Amino acid sequence: MSESGSQEAAAASTGAGAEGGGGGAANGSSDSPTKGAPRPAVGNKVTVVLGAQWGDEGKGKVVDLLAQDADMVCRCQGGNNAGHTVVVDSVEYDFHLLPSGIINPKVTAFIGNGVVIHLPGLFEEAEKNERKGKGLKDWEKRLIISDRAHIVFDFHQAVDGVQEQQRQEQAGKNLGTTKKGIGPVYSAKAARSGLRICDLLADFTQFSERYKVLAQQYKAMYPTLEIDIEGELVKLKDYVERIKPMVRDGVHYMYEALHGPPNKILVEGANAALLDIDFGQYSTECGCWAGFARVWECHPQNVGEVYGVVKAYTTRVGIGAFPSEQSNDIGELLQTRGKEVGVTTGRKRRCGWLDLVLIKYAHMINGFTALALTKLDILDVFTEIKVGVAYKVDNQIIPHFPANQEVLQRVEVQYETLPGWNSDTSAARSFEELPENAQKYVRFIEENVGVPASPPVSCTTHSQPSKLNLHPYPTTITTTTTNPFILSMSCSPPPSFI
């Protein structure tokens, strides 16, 4: 693992020293504004990594690559419904709540206000990964939690399960949630009845009263719900001293990081664009926001590069429209070769051809500056490869991605067929090493999505620590299942569906 990037530099600019120590309103201390030279108007730029499909695109792999040269890695939304897998020295680490970049021992990890935290799940995840190897050494000293993050309680998870059961009984199908309480806790947040980390660390008596009121509200809605109120309060009180050194006023903390000494700051999105509660497929989305600017303590002017992670084909977990799904031998082959099984749920993923209508739509929302194309080598065995380029409804091309679920169920995907390359690309270390048809496939994606150019990026791998070959032009990151590499990216016109 590359150890470039300094934890000490991050600590100096944020007050997050190796000793931890609670800060801000969370524990009664105050961080006085830094005196001296005027702050820069913009400050450090952050690099953002977001999923461009329905999740499972390989965001963890891309974050792992970029985190090796980062000072700070931030998680901005979602909960432990997400799942990222990172392999270091042949050891597989699974992340659900922790930013996966914490695997770099030089990185400070930050959990932002848009994340919902199940405290038992957080510590279980960290301790489980810690037992696997050295990757999470001193993680408690390197983790910072925003005091504005909302708490997922055990009864939120129980309610999630009850709601799924009701959907199954009433409508004959459920949403296929992870039952991690994500929908219920975000609902409580919107209803202004939720409880945050800062509430837990303030007056525990007041916190307990508010907790009991919230629990009774859920019991009134779901009479069969069993809640061990006193038992969970005891557990929560036990967590107070453990998390207190990690908690900061998130807004102040990130402002200091962004406007202090130079820092390389990476933001990882836990949930993908098509799972966004506003811009995803309502009502089968995950219930949290996939965009980052509105759910994280960072001004938009501090956003630099935005990488859209795109799997070379499309997958989805659970129910909902999936226009390019292949419920046939092709889908089965993609599922088998890609080992498409959910990290959190263990469910097999539905598979289909790459759908560029989705990618363009995600780009319109998030403004990708480059694409990170993953698992290209899964397509190595195909003689020909189809790519969805447009949608038809009632025999008419539609110039947009449908908001309505029923309309999306009816779309007819218009495909372009590209020749396959029928050769192993897993060992490719540069764009030139790809077969000609694989290069054409990547170029086809770039040209159709129309993502503007971005500055070059250097990445390393854990198995091959040497620097990778770079083109002298702006780049798109591309990875296979085993080896990542960088390729040049062409400038294209703005995206169009027609």
* Residue 82 marked as a ligand binder: yes
> What is the maximum alpha-carbon separation in the chain?
67
CA 122 to chain centre: 16
Shortest CA distance to 486 belongs to which of 462, 454, 444?
454
Residues in the chain, total: 498
Closest CA to 479 of 417, 444, 431: 431
- On whether 343 is known to bind a ligand per the annotation, the reply is yes
Q: Consult the annotation and say whether 21 binds a ligand.
A: no
User: Is-catalytic flag, 84?
Assistant: yes
The annotation status of 470 as a binding-site residue, yes or no, is no
Is 481 labelled a binding residue? no
Report whether 232 belongs to an annotated binding site. no
Q: Is 56 annotated as a binding residue?
A: yes
274 is in an annotated binding site: no
Q: Are β-strands 412-419 and 475-479 bridged in parallel, bridged antiparallel, or unpaired?
A: unpaired
Residue whose pair of structure tokens reads 């020749």 in the numeric block: 419
Q: Is 329 a catalytic residue?
A: no
Has 250 been labeled as part of a binding site? no
Token pair 């009816």 is found at 410
192 assigned to a ligand binding site:
yes
Is residue 85 annotated as involved in ligand binding?
yes
457 labeled part of a ligand binding site: no
Please check if 355 is assigned to a binding site.
no
Tokens of 226: 């069993």
The reply, when asked if residue 55 is annotated as ligand binding, is yes
Residues 16 and 81 sit within 8 Å (Cβ to Cβ)? no
- Residue tagged active-site, from 56, 64, 160, 355: 56
Q: Which of 31, 45, 94, 189 is catalytic?
A: 189
> Are the C-beta atoms of 80 and 156 separated by less than 8 Å?
no
Q: Is 194 annotated as a binding residue?
A: no
Of residues 182, 188, 196, the one with CA closest to residue 214: 188
- 3-class SS shares of the chain: helix, strand, coil, % to 5: 35, 20, 45
> CA-to-CA distance for 494 and 358, rounded, in angstroms?
15
CA distance 259 to 153: 35
Residues with Cβ within 8 Å of residue 479, at least 6 apart in sequence:
58, 61, 62, 65, 372, 373, 374, 375, 376, 485
> Does the annotation place 23 within a ligand binding site?
no
List 64, 69, 71, 84, catalytic entry: 84
Q: Tell me if 148 is assigned to a ligand binding site.
A: no
Question: Is 56 one of the annotated active-site residues of the chain?
Answer: yes
Tokens for 444? Answer: 């086809």
Non-local (6+) Cβ contacts of 37 within 8 A are none
363 is in an annotated binding site: no
Residue 476 assigned as binding residue: no
User: Which residues does residue 46 pair with via DSSP β-bridges, in sequence order?
Assistant: 265, 303
Identity (one letter) of the amino acid at 201?
A: L
For 193-232, the DSSP string reads ---BHHHHHS-HHHHHHHHHHHHHHHHHH-TT----HHHH
**Is 81 marked within a binding site?**
yes
Asked if residue 61 belongs to a known ligand binding site, the reply is: yes
Binding residues for GTP: 55-61, 83-85, 349, 375-377
Binding residues for IMP: 56-59, 81-84, 178, 192, 271, 284, 347
Binding residues for substrate: 343-349
Binding residues: 55-61, 81-85, 178, 192, 271, 284, 343-349, 375-377
By annotation, the residues acting in catalysis are 56, 84, 189
Binding residues for Mg(2+): 56, 83
